[in-house]
Chains A and B, each alone.
Chain A
Amino acid sequence: MENTPAVEMIGITKRFSGVAANEGVDFTASWGELHALIGENGAGKSTLMNLLYGLHIPDSGEIKVGGDSVRIADPRDAIALGIGMVHQHFMLIPAFTALENIVLGAETAKLGLTDFRAAEAKVLATGERFGLRVDLHKKVADLSVSAQQKVEILKALYRDARILILDEPTSVLAPQEAESLFEMLRRMVAEGMCVILISHKLNDVISYADRVTVLRRGRVVASLETGQTCPEELTRMMVGEDVPTAEPQKASVVGEGAVLKVRDLSVRGRSGRALDSVSFDIRPGEVLGVAGVDGNGQRELAEALVGLTRSTGTITLGGVDISGMSVRGRLEQGMAYVPEDRRFALAPDFSILDNSILGFHRGFAYHGILDLDEMVERADELIGRNDIRASGPGAPVKSLSGGNRQKLVLGRALIGEPTILIACQPTMGLDVHATAEIHRRLLAECTRGAGVLLISYDLDEILALSHRVLVMYQGRVAGVLTREEASREKVGAMMLGAKA
């Protein structure tokens, strides 16, 4: 068995409405191998793995599993072939326990009832083998993100997966959690499983994977042993050129005083406080990075600041108490907001024209009537200044790529020269170029003297841009570190609850 590869995909082509997502892709992964699949956004990594998992059907090409040519029409076929997939967005039912989620759809019945005892024994045995420890009787809603991920992995293993696909598994984890995930994956590989990892964290790939396949624009650029390459080479292969180093210029001078003062900000959650007595200042020209594992109060913090969530405590913006103001009042007071959830940023069915005034639309109205000329002027300005690739201001926003949408959101937020920018996950899902551009724009705001609150789950991004790092844990401020104090290890430990 060890001689035949676990997965062979030969000459795979898949088009979506004429656009090739995969074009003649050859991909091979072996038993006992941790195989990384890397590439920029839109390079076709997820598409290729969705084809293997039966979520899409290839237009042409052949898939072999364990040496046999197979047809995978839907995920059930894939599961029957021993393929499991952990998606980037977990597919769990929050109100069910971990065990119920694992068993769901693959129940073994005894006298017509689900045999949970047998199932639990099997799950525990599997977990023990690979070091996957989860409280099986807790509801998924009450589990941490990393525990939910373990549930997803156990779900696949419970269905006897021998080939495990993970889509960007570390993007939601603290560094230490990612490390222990890789330890588990290495144990699976040591037992002869085949693990395929979609990732964009090149250091992880080099450290933990055996082989790496690089995709660019739907084609395979290279497939090589990780021991024979380095992050710089992989980046070149992914992008197709040398990228100007993403390390930003941190020359801006932080001023005196505070543009934003937050005192004892609390938000009630479903159980207890989702945000608990958070206090901090942001000085003019400063980027305050908020680090933390997803779900530790970052979203509540942003929404409380913008006024989307009811909160207690005081928020002072440029000397004005805005705690009691509506969203509209806060925006008019000089706050700008780049939401994490893009549904809060844009109306996708509407044109760029309509979206480019959203939130500022009253400024374009005279006696309740919108001035179309001024709107077009604004849209053209945003498109031109931010290099938004679109057919014109009338194009619907949903026709834009993710990067162009985000450029529109950020450009719109910044055009009014805000005094404080609340930027949540501003580069999530963007490619290297778009990310570098967004980073440049954020730092330009600092140079202008604005304050920036940067919330991101990507610790590298936080460390690269921030003057100070605020670490959140369970709705509280675990500590605030200066740029010099904020090492990956220290911040990572605080993200998991260690004291500063």
Chain B
Amino acid sequence: MRRIISGPAFALLAAFGLGAMAIWVSGGNPITSFGAMFAGAFGSGPTVAETLVKSVPLIITGLAVALGLRAGLFNIGVEGQLLVGGLCAAYVGYAVKLPAVVHLPLCIVCGMIGGAAWGLLPGFLRAKRGVHEVITTIMMNYIAFYLTHYLVTNPLKDATTMAPQTPEALSSAWLPAFGGLHAGILLALICLAGYAFVMGRGVFGYEVKVVGKAPDAARAAGISVTGTLVRAMLISGALAGLAGAVEVLGVHHKFYDQFSPGYGFDSIAVAFLGGGSALGTGLSALLFGALRNGAVGMQLATDTPREIVTIIQAIIIVMAGTKFVKNSSGSGGGADDPL
């Protein structure tokens, strides 16, 4: 019973409760503010579409983090992997001329390869040398920030504008759009289904779970722990790269500096709140997308600043993170009965 209360529901309840107090203390009305936030996220067809569009990168990056967590890896480098993947997709999008049937998939695959490449080094260092991936992925993030910044301000810069961005991708590389949405939502759904299937039924998912929860048992069962870790990190990075590619090809159609509002970091909260499952990750990504989108509506309709949403997100992270720490320290043979 206690476990259910301390789960995601509790994190959400606490977050919105404390968020309401913050609104109230700063002179606002929590009920009208939250009402406006809801209307801003789900109030009409276009706002729902916008919420979904904002959820797409969160779903895919959330899965990237969730996969890492299942393997016992804390991939904080999703943001960097997303940037590299996005830039690869943008480059192939404008620099290569191909028919759409080939061009679009090629851009997506290149984005995934870029993300995976950015995840490879931390994965390899963790598996072979025991270097903690939190440190290496943070460092890889910085390299990605400044590398992409340099590239879009210098060699890959669109010469026709002052802005730090690549030229626009050819329309053959755009994700098809319809009614305020783009085809990235389909890719996100495919990722969710694929993740659920692989983790539930795949040998790879099985090995990932055992390596994450009982590495010693994995070794004794003949599972290659190093191989599984490297593969998990590669796929996590590929997903992050996919999210970057989808955002570039579906929304912006080019890579401009700092195009990501921190999807890679929100994805950590999404994964924690989602508890590592596909359904949970999908739902919490939707929630975060709605918060992000609803914040704009709330700020327009009331005096409540949109930063309240940041507070709510932060509390969710703290609450969900606490749950994770408790669970992870309880694994690995900690099941000794008092008897």
Contacts and interface: CB of A to CB of B under 8 A. Distances in A.
A21 B213 contact: no
B221 A358 contact: yes
B216 A343 contact: yes
A480 interface: no
A368 to B, nearest CB: 5
Interface stretch (A57-65, A359-367, A457-465): A359-367
Interface in A335-370: 337, 339, 341-350, 354, 358-359, 361-362, 365, 368-370
Interface in B292-339: 331-335, 337-339
A326 B222 contact: yes
A358 B210 contact: yes
Contacts of A350: 209-210, 213-214
The size bracket of the interface on B is: 20 to 34
A16 B331 contact: no
A21 B206 contact: no
A337 B331 contact: no
Contact of A344 (B220, B224, B334): B220
A349 B213 contact: yes
A370 B331 contact: no
Contact of B339 (A19, A329, A349): A19
Contacts of B331: 348-349
Given A343-B214, A348-B214, A350-B213, A44 B220 contact: no
A331 B214 CA distance: 19
B222 A339 contact: no
A326 B209 CA distance: 21
B206 A349 contact: no
A350 B214 CA distance: 9
5 contacts: A21-B339, A344-B220, A346-B214, A350-B210, A370-B206
B203 interface: yes
Given A361-B207, A401-B337, 19 more contacts: A21-B339, A306-B220, A308-B219, A308-B220, A327-B221, A330-B222, A339-B220, A343-B214, A344-B219, A348-B214, A348-B333, A348-B334, A349-B214, A359-B221, A359-B222, A369-B201, A370-B202, A372-B201, A398-B335
Contacts of A344: 216-217, 219-220
A369 B203 contact: yes
A37 to B, nearest CB: 15
B146 interface: no
Contacts of A306: 220
A interface SS class: mixed
Contacts of A346: 214, 217
A214 B263 CA distance: 63
Interface residues of A, number: 40
A341 B210 CA distance: 16
A420 to B, nearest CB: 15
Contact of A343 (B221, B224, B332, B338): B332
A342 B337 CA distance: 14
Interface hub of B209, B218, B337, B339 (most chain A Cβ within 10 A): B339
Contacts of A326: 222, 224
A361 B203 contact: yes
B150 to A, nearest CB: 40
A330 B220 CA distance: 11
B142 interface: no
A51 to B, nearest CB: 11
A368 B204 contact: yes
Contacts of B338: 16, 21, 47, 56
Interface in A319-335: 326-332
B116 to A, nearest CB: 19
Contacts of B222: 326-332, 359
A75 interface: no
B246 to A, nearest CB: 26
Given A56-B338, A326-B222, A359-B222, A347 B214 contact: yes
A44 B339 CA distance: 6
A131 interface: no
Nearest to B335: A398
Contacts of B202: 368-370
Contact of B217 (A19, A44, A329, A343): A343
A361 B220 contact: no
